[in-house]
Every structure is written in C-alpha cells, then in structure tokens.
Structure 1
Amino acid sequence: MKFFEKSGFRAAIAAAAIASAPFQTALAGAPNPEAVRPLAEFSERLGMPNLAKKLEDGKNVKIAYLGGSITEQNGWRVHSRKYLARKYPKARVGEINAAIGGTGSDLGCLRVGADVISKNPDAVFVEFAVNDAWRNPRDIFRDMEGIVRQIWAKSKETDICFVYTVTERDAAALENGEMSRAASAMEALADYYGIPSIHFGKEIADNLASGKLIMKTGADVKYVDGEALDESAAIARTPDGKIPFSKDGVHPYPNTGHLLYQKAFARSFDALAKSGKGAGGAARARSLPAADPMSPVSVKTLPLDAAKLFGKTGDVPWDSPAMSGKFKERAPFGFKKFETGSGFEIEFSGRRLVMYALFGPSCGEADVRADSEKARKAKFFDGYSSYYRMMPVKLFDGGRGKHRARLEMSAEKMDKRAILLPEHAKRFDENPAAFTPQNGYACCLYIVE
C-alpha cells in the first residue's frame, strides 16, 4: 500500500485508520519509507560540508562508525579511515568504533548517546541496512530518525552519512537495480534531512553482472586484518580468476569484498567533498521538525539497581566466562546476573522499555508482564547463541505515560540444541554443560520518553 499520496495530510489520516502501526508524520507530503528505491552508488544531497572543510584545513577530526558486524570487522571502516588520512595528510583522522555485531537501528537509537555522542565526533557513518533487513520500514525510519536527531541535538555541526552494505540475499535485487527495503526506508529519511548516502551494492552489482564476483565461497583467501590492511594491494582471486566476496555471504573478506566496498567509498566521498554545498543549507535542514513524532529522540539510561531487584541476583565480575573486553567498553553500567526465579520490577514514565542484555550459552528466558498485559516470554537465547553477545530485549512498547513492568527468570527448560543453527549446534555438542544454566544478564535499562 502506498501510504503517502500527494493529496497530503487528509490522505495520511485516511491511511492511518487502515494501518496497524500507522506512520505518523509532522509534515504533509512527508517521505514514504515503504517505497523501494532504485540503486545508486551515492546520493549527494546536502553533503558533509563541515567534515570536508575540516579535512581540507588540516584539522584534527574524529569519525564515528555506528553499525553492525560488517562495520565492526576491520574492513571498510579501517580502509576508509586510512584513505581519508592519506587523502588529507595535514589532517589527523581519528576513529570511534561504535559497531556491534548482530544489532540494528533499534539498539543503535538507544546506545548512540553513550557510544557516539558522548565522544564528540565530527562526523558519523551509520550502517544498519543489513541487520534491519527483516524489520518494518516504518520502524526503521523512526529509529534512524532517533539516531539523527539525538546526534544533532548535541551538535548540528556533526555531519552524518548513511552507508549501505549488502549480503548474498540482496544479489538478485541489486542486479535488478533495486535497493533493499531497509536501505529504501533509510533513503526516505535521508531525503527529508538532506543526509548523503553511500551504497556499496552498486560496485557489487557491477562485478556480479560482469561475472567477476562470487558472493559466497570457501576459497582460501589470505586474511589480512587491522592496520595491515592495504587497499592499494591487488584483490585476491580464485584459481578461475573470480573475486571471492565472502565465506558466509554476509561478512566480506577484508582483502576482497571490503576492498570493493572501499572503492565505492573513495569514489563517493571524493564526489561529496567536491560538491561545493555550503553548510548553510545543511544547518537549515538540521533544524527541521521531526518527520515522525514517534521517533525515539529522548532516551534515558538506567542501571539495573534503579529497579526493585528480587531473588538471586548479583554483580557479574568482568573476568567471568560470560564477559569480554568488548562488553566492558560498551556497557553503560556493570552487568547483573539473574538466576531462576529472580528478576526486577520497575515503575517508569515513557513509551518504551528495553533491557540491554546478553544472549549466549548460559542464558535462558523470562516471564515479562507490563501493566495489565498478559505475561509473555522474553528469550535471551537464539540460533546464534553459541557465544555471548549484547542484544536489546524489548519489555514494553506502548503509549506515553506511567507504567509498571516486571521480569522474572523462568524455570522452564529450553531445548537449546534445537534452537541453535547447525554451525552453532556443533559447539553445544562439544560442551553441553556450558548450555545448562538458564540465567539472565543485563547491564542497563533504556526508557524512551
């Protein structure tokens, strides 16, 4: 269904009566996040005028990379930062790595304050299209707008650019000249605010069309990582002369797929830097009202101690098996452990309550009840839970106001092996005892006001 028509506000109201989760707009003729966009390598829009000027003037800059595992890899993130450092040798280009594997804009809009804004970046590249692939385009639009508006609430001088990575499942659409639904939703927001975007998929589509690229292969590729990455080196190829993009169809080899990504980045950023767009237009766009009043622009972060804890709970030492150095860097507060029968109750004012938790081998599920709602299950274990990772768990999502929520770890046993994907079930078979506990671990609560 096309949600917004040129007839304006009246059409939007009529459509809202039909939609189960209506997309609310502050302006008549607002962008449509559901329309699939044609593939383009970059869209200049209002550019990145502040970053470009600072680089050209030889200033020190900090660039934040907010995204998922593809950005967390030492690939295009490292390539792009080193490229800018070489292109602007008088400038000092610093990096804020704010990427967390397996997470999308729904968590990004909650953690952007601690992971990005608090570190005062000059520019932010946002990459969530792959991990947002299965989400509703309207929700993507709202959460991405939450990221944008929170960044600009701190400083309208901070330039933002959306970056779109791709996977094997995107290949057919790319070759057909189309963006994914997630990237299309983000493009609608980019249009509204004049935010530039870079789509790595055009480079991939061109190589697929010419028969030069294999999206998924177990080819033996020399894996070079970190500071050793060199985008000037030759791209590795298979014996038949093709470029192996990745092993799993998702995460590019740093010296093949990520080098293709870097080619697209270099072309696109060079065009953005030369665009000549002044900061005046960008400043005006950054003062626009919210496109959707339901976007999460105000987020409060609370330690678990702010809730009323009950049962067997306790602090988790950073050297425990469930912890890692990454978690310590990312967690706003220390982790709490919740054993069977334990949990917390909290009264809060807002419209969304999210628990920043761990998924992993020793995690289980909980019974959650909000206000007078019927109790439901919240799981801290999924098909990838042969290792620990930080994930958001939504406990309440409703109208603004005062609410009460309760979480209690369940005593019901999960068939964890049946839940795990085949490649992760192997770890269960190697050490089933590690999967026996059914605990909960969380470092904070997010309240969207």
Structure 2
Amino acid sequence: MNYARSPFRLLPALLCLILCHASTELSAAPPENLPEVSDKNIHLRGSYQNSKQKFESTKTGHVAFLGGSITEMNGYRPMVCEFLEKTFPETKFTFTNAGISSTCSNTGAFRTNRDVLSQGPVDLFFVEFAVNDDQDAGHSKEAAIRGMEGVIAQIRRHNPYADIVMVHFVNPSMLETIQQKKKPLSSSSHEQVAKHYQISTIDLASEVARLIDADQLTWKQYGGTHPAPFGNAICAAMIDKLLTRAWQESGPKEKHSTPDQPLDVFSFRNGRLIDVKHAKLASGWEIKVPDWESISGSKRSRFTSIPMLCAEQPGAELELDFEGTALGAFIVAGPDAGQLEVSIDGGPFKTHDLYHHYSKGLHYPRTVVFSSELKPGKHQAKIRVSPESSSPGHAARIMYFTGN
C-alpha cells in the first residue's frame, strides 16, 4: 500500500504513513450492534464505472480524502480504505489523506492543488466540509457554495474521469436543525453543488437524525462532532452501500459531464495558494519561522516549522501583485491576532479581523478572504496592519496568500 506524501514536511509524512496503516489495521473489526442504514439518505448520482474499471484493469488506484479534522482523524477514512482493499484485493492503492483540522471548504478549494492534485490524477475522491463550514467558518450560503464548487471543479478539470462522493457530517446545532424539519445551511449548500455536478452524497447528518428519532442511536453512541468508531462505522456503512450498488451496474468508462455554467461565477474553481515571497515588503514585515516558544497560546505541530510572513506592529505595510478574481490569506490566528486593512487597485482600505472565536487559546488556521468578486485580470493589493484589534496584540502570521 502506498500513501501520498504530506505537503508539509518529511517527518509528518512518515508519521502519517504509519498512522494511516495502523488505523486501517485497527478498524478491522466493525463495532457490534450497528444499526442498519437506510437508502433514504444515500443519494446515488451518475456512474462509478470509471473507478471500478481502473481498479480492476490496472490493479492500481489513487483515492483521496479532503476535509477537516473529521477526515484527518482515525475515523471514517481508514474504514473506507479497508473496504476498498477488501473489495479489490489485487489492487495497489495510493491513499491521500488531505484532511487538515479546522479548515473550511474555502481553504479546501485554495489547497486542492497542493494537497490533492499534486499527488497525481484522482480516481475516487471523498470530500467533507459541512461541519467546518458551519461551526468554524460560519459560512453564508454563497461562501459554502464557492468553496465546495471550487473543490469539485478542480478535481474534475484535472481528471474528467474522477468519481466523487460528498459526505455531510453533523454537529449538535445541525442535528437540532434537522430535527426541526429544516436543512442546515452548510450541507444544503453543498448539496446544491452535488446536484449541479451530478455527484453522489452521503447525508450522514440526516441519517443520524433519523436513527436517533427512531431510538436506534443516541448522540453519545455516535460520538459527537468528531464521531466515535461507532459513528464513523455508520458513515462507512453508508459509503459501502452506495459504492456496492453503483459498482453492480455495468457500462463504459467515460468522462463525467461538466455543467455549461457554474453555480456561482465567483466560485473558487481556480483556487490556489500564493507564496508569500511574492509580496513586496515595505516595513514591519518579515518572512520567518515564528519564535513559538515565546508566543502564548496553543500551537499545532503541523504549523510550527513553517516560514510565515509576520508582522506585529500597527502600520506594517506590503504590496502584492496578483491575478484573478479573489484575494485572501491562509493564516494562523492566535490570542494576539490583529486586523489587516486591505486596498485593491487603489480602492478604499477595508478592515479584516484575523481574530477568530477559537483564537483565544489556540493559533487557529483559517482563511480570510479579502475580496472575491474582482474583475478577471491583474491587480495590486496594499496591505497594512491596523491600529485596531480584537485582541491585546496586532499580530499577522500569513502562511500563504490565496487567489482565484
């Protein structure tokens, strides 16, 4: 079994390989007394003959998973990997784990190329961002669509034969919304993207609500926002049921159709990360690995050795030439996070708060979008640290700028 290298550095890549392999071994025995999943919340759209034929004819396959901590953790992902290995025992799989805790679909669209497509064409792709678009990013319908459509469009443009499964996980507030016979904003927005691109969805959120209402499951059994093995096994069982049904069909290998028009013309279909080295630094900015030991707040090891574009004093300025319809920044925002004032093409400066409600005790990874509806073409941004702040500090720590 081959596991794709982490985009960050060698040590985590080796650790990921070990953990991914171990997690597959650990998930061998499914939890007992798992409730039977219904077809009601499994939405099969389109054909999955491309992945089936690739796995059977070439005995190789690239399967990628993109999402937040639910993807990154030892959860549904290794269970699905095990299912695939059992279904195609002669196939040598490469599994790419592109889950990064706390990240939303917007960040996902900006990092799809680096974290997924850089590993080669994807044959079968799984994506989940419903929970993080809800509780972490608090996205509007527009933002949730722009992020998810950006991911899907990039995967299909890179490989028109790629088969895709979208999964909607659930948190307490989303569960309550469903139990009130309403639809959560994040998952319903992603569902619009899935229907537009004829992509199958696993509505785990609605299935969990159904099972709880039928007294076949409790929220404690499910395990919470980050599901326990029991909850992840329910998700894996739904995916098993979807793919088993899809692969019973026969048909030719063929390119998936592409909609004539996107759902949103400003969706992040050309999302990308922009190296901070492209910035023209005027004063107060420096590219360095922050001295994390001297900075208060919890840090995630994934980010502590990455050089970042840093400023800590109001008035620090830079300029950035870029091309496309959007500009933002992928940052870590901790207890000292400040605010940035951004002017594009000589327009008025607009203030963007880097501080997040999770920043109080954690240097939290997030994407702040400065503008997303620019005219196509070349632009110039002027960025400065504001004297205003929602925290005691004024820090800005930028890993990448983001563009579209």
Q: Could you state the TM-score of these two structures normalised by the residue count of structure 2?
A: 0.78
**TM superposition shift of 1:266:** 1.9
Label 1:89 to 1:179 Cα distance change in 2 as closer, same or farther (>3 A). Answer: farther
Equivalent residue number for residue 86 of structure 2? 86
Label 1:202 to 1:302 Cα distance change in 2 as closer, same or farther (>3 A). Answer: closer
Label 1:413 to 1:195 Cα distance change in 2 as closer, same or farther (>3 A). Answer: closer
Deviates more, 1:200-209 or 1:319-328: 319-328
Task: Give the number of the structure whose alpha-carbon radius of gyration is greater.
Answer: 1
**TM superposition shift of 1:441:** 0.7
AA partner of residue 302 (structure 1): I
Equivalent residue number for residue 73 of structure 2? 73
Equivalent residue number for residue 394 of structure 1? 369
Residue correspondence of structure 1 range 144-293 to structure 2 within 5 A:
144-175=148-179, 179-215=183-219, 217=220, 243=221, 245-246=222-223, 249-253=224-228, 255-276=229-250, 278-280=252-254, 283-286=255-258, 288-293=260-265
**TM superposition shift of 1:107:** 1.6
CA contact (8 A) 1:367 1:376 kept: yes
Q: 1:394-442 deviations in whole A, cap 9, x for unaligned? A: 122333144332222234453x4xxxxxxxxxxxxxxxxxxx6532111
Q: How far apart, CA to CA, are the structure 2 residues paired with 1:279 and 1:137?
A: 34
Label 1:178 to 1:292 Cα distance change in 2 as closer, same or farther (>3 A). Answer: same
AA partner of residue 393 (structure 1): V
CA contact (8 A) 1:318 1:324 kept: no
CA contact (8 A) 2:130 2:186 kept: yes
Q: 1:274-299 deviations in whole A, cap 9, x for unaligned? A: 2335433xx15147554443333224
List gaps (5 residues or longer) in structure 2. 1-38
AA partner of residue 73 (structure 2): Q
Equivalent residue number for residue 129 of structure 2? 128
Label 1:371 to 1:60 Cα distance change in 2 as closer, same or farther (>3 A). Answer: same
Give me the identity figure in percent: 25
Q: 1:59-97 deviations in whole A, cap 9, x for unaligned? A: 222211111222222101121112211222212233211
Q: How far apart, CA to CA, are the structure 1 residues paired with 2:289 and 2:250?
A: 52
AA partner of residue 210 (structure 2): D
Equivalent residue number for residue 302 of structure 2? 326
Matching residue within 364, 367, 370 for 2:344: 370
List gaps (5 residues or longer) in structure 1. 1-38, 218-242, 417-435
Q: How far apart, CA to CA, are the structure 1 residues paired with 2:127 and 2:189?
A: 14
AA partner of residue 97 (structure 1): N
Alignment of 1:403 with 2:403, yes or no, is no
Equivalent residue number for residue 443 of structure 1? 399
Root mean square deviation of aligned Cα = 2.8
Equivalent residue number for residue 275 of structure 2? 303
Deviates more, 1:285-294 or 1:99-108: 285-294
CA contact (8 A) 2:117 2:158 kept: yes
Alignment of 1:380 with 2:354, yes or no, is yes
Q: How far apart, CA to CA, are the structure 1 residues paired with 2:47 and 2:239?
A: 14
Label 1:395 to 1:173 Cα distance change in 2 as closer, same or farther (>3 A). Answer: closer
